[in-house]
Amino acid sequence: MADLKALSQAIIKGDQMTATKITQQAISEGVAPGTILEDGLIAGMNTIGVRFKANEVYIPEVLIAARAMKNAMAILEPKLVAAGVKPRGKALMGTVQGDLHDIGKNLVVMMLKGAGFEVMDAGVDVSPDAFVAKVRDSGAQVVGLSALLTTTMPSMEKTIAAIREAGLKAKVIIGGAPVTQEYANKIGADGYAPDAASAVDVAKSLLN
DSSP letters for 33-63: HHHIIIIIIIHHHHHHHHHHHTTSS-HHHHH
pLDDT exceeds cutoff 90 at 1: no
Among 82, 99, 115, the domain-final residue is 82
Note the pLDDT of residue 161.
Answer: 98
164: phi then psi, degrees, rounded to nearest 5? -65, -45
pTM of the model: 0.88
Same domain as 100, residue 64: no
Note the pLDDT of residue 28.
Answer: 97
When divided into structural domains, the chain yields a total of 2
CATH number of the CATH domain containing 153? 3.40.50.280
Note the pLDDT of residue 208.
Answer: 86
CATH number of the CATH domain containing 31? 1.10.1240.10
* Closest to 67 in 3D by CA, of 25, 22, 34, 109: 109
Same domain as 74, residue 163: no
Residue-wise pLDDT for 140-176, tens only, equals 999 999 999 999 999 999 999 999 999 999 999 999 9
Residue-wise pLDDT for 71-90, tens only, equals 999 999 999 999 999 999 99
Same domain as 27, residue 77: yes
Residue type present at position 74 = A
* Stretch 33-48: mean pLDDT: 95
State which residues form the domain around 13. 4-82
